[in-house]
Protein backbone atom coordinates (compact mmCIF):
# COMPACT_ATOMS: atom_id res chain seq x y z
CA UNK A 1 0.00 0.00 0.00
CA UNK A 2 1.53 3.32 -1.12
CA UNK A 3 1.08 6.46 0.95
CA UNK A 4 1.05 9.84 -0.79
CA UNK A 5 2.53 12.60 1.37
CA UNK A 6 2.38 16.19 0.16
CA UNK A 7 4.91 17.54 2.68
CA UNK A 8 7.37 15.62 4.89
CA UNK A 9 6.75 16.09 8.59
CA UNK A 10 9.28 18.17 10.53
CA UNK A 11 11.55 16.29 12.91
CA UNK A 12 10.67 18.65 15.77
CA UNK A 13 7.05 17.52 15.47
CA UNK A 14 7.93 13.84 15.19
CA UNK A 15 10.36 14.03 18.13
CA UNK A 16 7.60 15.43 20.34
CA UNK A 17 5.81 12.08 20.03
CA UNK A 18 8.83 9.91 20.87
CA UNK A 19 10.22 9.16 24.31
CA UNK A 20 9.43 10.55 27.76
CA UNK A 21 7.60 7.30 28.48
CA UNK A 22 6.29 6.62 32.00
CA UNK A 23 8.49 5.01 34.65
CA UNK A 24 6.44 3.16 37.26
CA UNK A 25 7.17 1.05 40.33
CA UNK A 26 5.38 -2.24 39.65
CA UNK A 27 6.84 -4.26 42.53
CA UNK A 28 3.90 -4.03 44.90
CA UNK A 29 1.18 -4.81 42.41
CA UNK A 30 3.21 -7.82 41.24
CA UNK A 31 3.84 -9.00 44.81
CA UNK A 32 7.61 -8.46 44.70
CA UNK A 33 9.85 -7.14 47.49
CA UNK A 34 10.96 -4.38 45.09
CA UNK A 35 11.29 -1.63 44.22
CA UNK A 36 11.11 -2.65 40.56
CA UNK A 37 10.90 0.31 38.19
CA UNK A 38 9.54 -0.40 34.72
CA UNK A 39 10.14 2.01 31.83
CA UNK A 40 7.00 1.75 29.67
CA UNK A 41 8.55 1.79 26.20
CA UNK A 42 5.42 0.23 24.69
CA UNK A 43 3.89 3.70 25.04
CA UNK A 44 6.04 4.99 22.16
CA UNK A 45 4.59 5.46 18.66
CA UNK A 46 4.26 2.10 16.84
CA UNK A 47 4.24 0.38 20.23
CA UNK A 48 7.90 -0.17 21.10
CA UNK A 49 11.32 1.26 21.99
CA UNK A 50 12.54 0.82 18.41
CA UNK A 51 11.21 4.16 17.23
CA UNK A 52 14.04 5.83 19.15
CA UNK A 53 16.97 4.32 17.18
CA UNK A 54 15.21 4.45 13.82
CA UNK A 55 14.55 8.16 14.21
CA UNK A 56 18.22 8.65 15.08
CA UNK A 57 19.49 6.52 12.19
CA UNK A 58 17.29 8.30 9.66
CA UNK A 59 18.33 11.74 10.90
CA UNK A 60 22.01 10.80 10.68
CA UNK A 61 21.56 9.42 7.16
CA UNK A 62 19.85 12.62 6.08
CA UNK A 63 22.56 14.80 7.65
CA UNK A 64 25.34 12.84 5.96
CA UNK A 65 23.70 13.16 2.56
CA UNK A 66 23.45 9.40 2.10
CA UNK A 67 19.66 9.58 2.31
CA UNK A 68 18.07 11.58 -0.51
CA UNK A 69 14.40 12.38 -1.13
CA UNK A 70 14.18 9.67 -3.80
CA UNK A 71 15.96 7.00 -1.71
CA UNK A 72 14.43 3.71 -0.63
CA UNK A 73 15.15 2.95 3.03
CA UNK A 74 15.88 -0.71 3.83
CA UNK A 75 16.68 -2.68 6.97
CA UNK A 76 16.46 -6.17 8.47
CA UNK A 77 14.29 -6.51 11.57
CA UNK A 78 12.01 -8.86 13.50
CA UNK A 79 9.12 -6.42 13.52
CA UNK A 80 9.37 -3.64 16.08
CA UNK A 81 12.06 -1.95 14.03
CA UNK A 82 10.14 -2.57 10.82
CA UNK A 83 7.05 -0.77 12.10
CA UNK A 84 9.09 2.11 13.51
CA UNK A 85 11.06 2.50 10.29
CA UNK A 86 7.93 2.29 8.15
CA UNK A 87 6.06 4.91 10.19
CA UNK A 88 8.97 7.34 10.21
CA UNK A 89 9.57 6.91 6.49
CA UNK A 90 5.89 7.53 5.76
CA UNK A 91 6.11 10.81 7.69
CA UNK A 92 9.34 11.89 6.00
CA UNK A 93 8.23 10.85 2.51
CA UNK A 94 10.62 7.96 1.85
CA UNK A 95 9.92 4.63 0.22
CA UNK A 96 10.63 1.85 2.69
CA UNK A 97 11.27 -1.90 2.57
CA UNK A 98 11.57 -4.07 5.67
CA UNK A 99 13.28 -7.43 5.33
CA UNK A 100 11.89 -9.74 8.01
CA UNK A 101 12.38 -13.40 8.89
CA UNK A 102 9.63 -15.73 7.75
CA UNK A 103 7.44 -17.24 10.47
CA UNK A 104 6.85 -14.12 12.58
CA UNK A 105 3.37 -13.35 13.93
CA UNK A 106 1.28 -11.98 11.08
CA UNK A 107 0.52 -8.83 13.07
CA UNK A 108 4.11 -7.69 12.61
CA UNK A 109 3.96 -7.84 8.83
CA UNK A 110 0.54 -6.21 8.73
CA UNK A 111 1.54 -3.33 11.00
CA UNK A 112 4.57 -2.61 8.83
CA UNK A 113 2.52 -2.66 5.64
CA UNK A 114 -0.11 -0.42 7.24
CA UNK A 115 2.38 2.46 7.20
CA UNK A 116 2.96 2.01 3.47
CA UNK A 117 6.15 -0.06 3.56
CA UNK A 118 6.96 -3.14 1.53
CA UNK A 119 7.87 -6.39 3.28
CA UNK A 120 10.31 -9.02 2.06
CA UNK A 121 10.28 -12.30 3.96
CA UNK A 122 13.63 -14.02 4.33
CA UNK A 123 14.00 -17.75 4.77
CA UNK A 124 14.47 -18.96 8.31
CA UNK A 125 12.56 -18.96 11.60
CA UNK A 126 11.36 -15.83 13.36
CA UNK A 127 14.52 -15.17 15.32
CA UNK A 128 16.88 -15.86 12.41
CA UNK A 129 18.08 -12.30 11.93
CA UNK A 130 21.17 -13.45 10.03
CA UNK A 131 19.05 -14.67 7.12
CA UNK A 132 17.10 -11.41 7.03
CA UNK A 133 20.31 -9.40 7.10
CA UNK A 134 21.80 -11.34 4.20
CA UNK A 135 18.64 -10.84 2.16
CA UNK A 136 18.57 -7.10 2.95
CA UNK A 137 22.20 -6.67 1.94
CA UNK A 138 21.57 -8.49 -1.32
CA UNK A 139 18.50 -6.36 -2.00
CA UNK A 140 20.44 -3.12 -1.53
CA UNK A 141 23.29 -4.41 -3.72
CA UNK A 142 20.83 -4.78 -6.59
CA UNK A 143 20.37 -0.98 -6.62
CA UNK A 144 23.08 0.63 -4.47
CA UNK A 145 22.49 4.14 -5.76
CA UNK A 146 18.77 4.10 -5.00
CA UNK A 147 18.62 2.09 -1.78
CA UNK A 148 20.17 2.69 1.63
CA UNK A 149 20.61 0.05 4.33
CA UNK A 150 20.25 1.46 7.85
CA UNK A 151 21.99 -1.66 9.23
CA UNK A 152 20.77 -1.48 12.81
CA UNK A 153 23.23 -4.06 14.18
CA UNK A 154 26.25 -2.04 13.04
CA UNK A 155 24.91 1.50 13.12
CA UNK A 156 26.33 3.45 16.12
CA UNK A 157 23.30 5.76 16.07
CA UNK A 158 21.28 2.82 17.38
CA UNK A 159 23.07 2.87 20.73
CA UNK A 160 23.48 6.66 20.83
CA UNK A 161 19.70 7.07 20.66
CA UNK A 162 19.28 5.23 23.94
CA UNK A 163 21.56 7.59 25.82
CA UNK A 164 18.54 9.89 25.90
CA UNK A 165 16.53 7.04 27.43
CA UNK A 166 19.09 6.85 30.22
CA UNK A 167 18.75 10.59 30.81
CA UNK A 168 14.98 10.24 31.05
CA UNK A 169 15.36 7.50 33.65
CA UNK A 170 17.77 9.59 35.70
CA UNK A 171 15.37 12.54 35.73
CA UNK A 172 12.50 10.27 36.74
CA UNK A 173 14.48 8.66 39.59
CA UNK A 174 16.40 11.73 40.72
CA UNK A 175 16.07 12.21 44.47
CA UNK A 176 14.62 8.76 45.15
CA UNK A 177 16.31 6.67 47.84
CA UNK A 178 17.93 4.21 47.83
CA UNK A 179 19.57 4.85 44.42
CA UNK A 180 19.12 2.49 41.52
CA UNK A 181 21.19 -0.66 42.07
CA UNK A 182 20.45 -3.07 39.20
CA UNK A 183 19.54 -2.70 35.53
CA UNK A 184 17.94 -5.82 34.03
CA UNK A 185 17.97 -5.77 30.24
CA UNK A 186 17.54 -8.23 27.40
CA UNK A 187 19.18 -7.57 24.07
CA UNK A 188 18.88 -8.13 20.35
CA UNK A 189 21.20 -5.64 18.70
CA UNK A 190 22.20 -4.47 22.17
CA UNK A 191 21.55 -0.84 21.30
CA UNK A 192 19.15 -0.28 24.21
CA UNK A 193 21.45 -1.94 26.73
CA UNK A 194 24.58 -0.16 25.54
CA UNK A 195 23.17 3.35 25.18
CA UNK A 196 21.18 3.26 28.40
CA UNK A 197 24.17 1.95 30.35
CA UNK A 198 26.40 4.74 29.07
CA UNK A 199 24.18 7.26 30.80
CA UNK A 200 23.20 5.26 33.87
CA UNK A 201 26.84 4.54 34.74
CA UNK A 202 27.43 8.30 34.95
CA UNK A 203 24.50 8.90 37.29
CA UNK A 204 24.48 5.66 39.32
CA UNK A 205 28.15 4.77 39.74
CA UNK A 206 27.60 1.43 41.50
CA UNK A 207 24.83 0.11 39.25
CA UNK A 208 25.14 -3.48 37.99
CA UNK A 209 23.70 -4.65 34.68
CA UNK A 210 22.16 -8.09 34.23
CA UNK A 211 21.96 -9.20 30.61
CA UNK A 212 18.89 -11.36 29.95
CA UNK A 213 19.13 -14.13 27.38
CA UNK A 214 16.81 -16.89 26.27
CA UNK A 215 18.19 -20.20 27.51
CA UNK A 216 18.01 -21.80 24.04
CA UNK A 217 20.02 -19.00 22.43
CA UNK A 218 22.35 -17.69 25.15
CA UNK A 219 25.44 -16.71 23.17
CA UNK A 220 26.97 -14.25 25.65
CA UNK A 221 26.32 -16.54 28.61
CA UNK A 222 27.90 -19.48 26.77
CA UNK A 223 30.97 -17.41 25.93
CA UNK A 224 31.45 -16.36 29.54
CA UNK A 225 30.96 -19.91 30.77
CA UNK A 226 33.41 -21.29 28.23
CA UNK A 227 30.71 -23.40 26.62
CA UNK A 228 29.92 -23.88 22.93
CA UNK A 229 27.01 -21.79 21.70
CA UNK A 230 24.33 -23.50 19.65
CA UNK A 231 21.53 -20.92 19.31
CA UNK A 232 18.07 -22.28 18.53
CA UNK A 233 14.80 -20.75 17.39
CA UNK A 234 12.61 -19.42 20.19
CA UNK A 235 9.45 -17.35 20.58
CA UNK A 236 10.72 -14.41 22.66
CA UNK A 237 11.02 -12.16 19.64
CA UNK A 238 13.65 -9.43 19.82
CA UNK A 239 15.87 -11.17 22.36
CA UNK A 240 18.83 -13.51 21.86
CA UNK A 241 19.16 -13.45 18.07
CA UNK A 242 22.02 -15.97 18.13
CA UNK A 243 24.90 -13.52 17.79
CA UNK A 244 26.35 -10.47 19.51
CA UNK A 245 25.86 -7.38 17.33
CA UNK A 246 28.91 -5.16 16.67
CA UNK A 247 27.31 -2.13 18.35
CA UNK A 248 26.79 -3.93 21.66
CA UNK A 249 29.32 -3.18 24.40
CA UNK A 250 29.38 -6.42 26.38
CA UNK A 251 31.64 -4.87 29.01
CA UNK A 252 28.54 -3.22 30.47
CA UNK A 253 27.07 -6.62 31.36
CA UNK A 254 28.13 -7.61 34.88
CA UNK A 255 26.29 -10.93 34.87
CA UNK A 256 24.07 -13.01 32.61
CA UNK A 257 20.68 -14.43 33.47
CA UNK A 258 18.80 -17.06 31.49
CA UNK A 259 15.05 -17.22 31.02
CA UNK A 260 12.91 -19.80 29.27
CA UNK A 261 9.78 -19.32 27.19
CA UNK A 262 7.44 -20.78 29.81
CA UNK A 263 8.72 -18.46 32.55
CA UNK A 264 8.44 -15.46 30.23
CA UNK A 265 4.86 -16.41 29.28
CA UNK A 266 3.84 -16.77 32.94
CA UNK A 267 5.14 -13.34 33.87
CA UNK A 268 3.66 -11.76 30.74
CA UNK A 269 0.26 -13.01 31.90
CA UNK A 270 0.88 -11.76 35.46
CA UNK A 271 1.81 -8.30 34.17
CA UNK A 272 -1.33 -8.19 32.02
CA UNK A 273 -3.64 -9.33 34.81
CA UNK A 274 -2.17 -7.11 37.54
CA UNK A 275 -1.36 -3.90 35.65
CA UNK A 276 -3.74 -4.08 32.71
CA UNK A 277 -0.78 -3.61 30.36
CA UNK A 278 -0.92 -6.00 27.42
CA UNK A 279 2.80 -6.35 26.78
CA UNK A 280 4.83 -8.93 24.90
CA UNK A 281 6.87 -11.86 26.16
CA UNK A 282 10.12 -9.88 25.96
CA UNK A 283 8.67 -7.78 28.80
CA UNK A 284 7.65 -10.95 30.63
CA UNK A 285 11.18 -12.31 30.26
CA UNK A 286 12.68 -9.14 31.72
CA UNK A 287 10.31 -9.06 34.69
CA UNK A 288 10.79 -12.81 35.28
CA UNK A 289 14.51 -12.26 35.84
CA UNK A 290 13.85 -9.20 38.01
CA UNK A 291 11.41 -11.17 40.17
CA UNK A 292 13.89 -13.99 40.57
CA UNK A 293 16.68 -11.65 41.66
CA UNK A 294 14.53 -9.62 44.03
CA UNK A 295 13.32 -12.74 45.81
CA UNK A 296 16.73 -14.40 46.11
CA UNK A 297 19.00 -11.38 46.46
CA UNK A 298 17.28 -8.41 48.14
CA UNK A 299 20.44 -6.34 47.76
CA UNK A 300 19.73 -6.10 44.03
CA UNK A 301 16.92 -3.59 44.75
CA UNK A 302 16.00 -1.08 43.50
CA UNK A 303 15.87 -2.64 40.03
CA UNK A 304 15.08 -1.19 36.63
CA UNK A 305 13.77 -2.99 33.57
CA UNK A 306 11.79 -2.26 30.41
CA UNK A 307 8.30 -3.11 29.26
CA UNK A 308 9.42 -3.24 25.66
CA UNK A 309 6.41 -3.55 23.39
CA UNK A 310 2.70 -4.24 23.05
CA UNK A 311 1.38 -7.76 23.25
CA UNK A 312 -0.62 -7.86 20.04
CA UNK A 313 2.66 -7.89 18.12
CA UNK A 314 3.07 -11.51 19.28
CA UNK A 315 -0.31 -12.71 18.03
What are the tens digits of pLDDT across the range 191-237?
999 999 999 999 999 999 999 999 999 999 999 999 988 888 899 99
Residue 229 is predicted with a pLDDT of: 85
Measured distance CA(168)–CA(171) in Å, rounded: 5
Q: Is the pLDDT of residue 4 over 60?
A: no
CB 190 within 8 A of CB 264: no
Measured distance CA(177)–CA(19) in Å, rounded: 24
Q: How far is CA 54 from the centre of its chain?
A: 11
The two beta strands, 72-76 and 147-149, are: parallel
Q: What is the pLDDT of residues 60-94, one digit of tens each?
A: 999 999 999 999 999 999 999 999 999 999 999 99
CA-based nearest residue to 42, from 313, 312, 307, 314: 307
Range 223-231 contact pairs with CB under 8 angstroms and sequence separation of 24 or more: 224/256
Percent of the chain predicted with pLDDT > 70: 97
Measured distance CA(191)–CA(152) in Å, rounded: 9
CB 162 within 8 A of CB 187: no
Q: Which domains does the chain have, with CATH numbers?
A: 11-44+156-314 (3.40.50.1100), 51-149 (3.40.50.1100)
Q: What is the pLDDT of residues 269-310, one digit of tens each?
A: 999 999 999 999 999 999 999 999 999 999 999 999 999 999
Q: How would residue 34 be classed by pLDDT, with cut points 50, 70 and 90? A: confident
Give the global pTM.
Answer: 0.96
CB 176 within 8 A of CB 210: no
Q: What is the pLDDT of residues 101-149, one digit of tens each?
A: 998 999 999 999 999 999 999 986 656 789 999 999 999 999 999 999 9
CA-based nearest residue to 50, from 82, 93, 23, 17: 82
Q: How far apart are the first and last CA of the chain?
A: 22
Residue 7 is predicted with a pLDDT of: 75
Q: Is the pLDDT of residue 1 over 60?
A: no
The two beta strands, 23-25 and 36-40, are: antiparallel
Q: Is the pLDDT of residue 6 over 90?
A: no
Residue 127 is predicted with a pLDDT of: 62
Residues contacting 310, CB < 8 A, separation 6+: 42, 47, 48, 278, 279, 280
User: If 0-12 CB within 10 Å is exposed, 13-18 middle and 19+ buried, where does residue 11 land?
Assistant: middle
Amino acid sequence: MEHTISRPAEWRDIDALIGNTPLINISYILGLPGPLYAKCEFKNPTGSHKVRPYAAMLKAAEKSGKLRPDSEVVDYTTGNGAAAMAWLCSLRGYRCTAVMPDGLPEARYEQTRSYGASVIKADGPGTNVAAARARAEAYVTENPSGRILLNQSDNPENAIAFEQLGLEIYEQLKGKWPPLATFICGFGTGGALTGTCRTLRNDFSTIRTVGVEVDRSAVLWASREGRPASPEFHNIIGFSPGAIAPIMDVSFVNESALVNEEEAAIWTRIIRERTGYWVGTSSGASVAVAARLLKKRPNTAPCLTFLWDVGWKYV
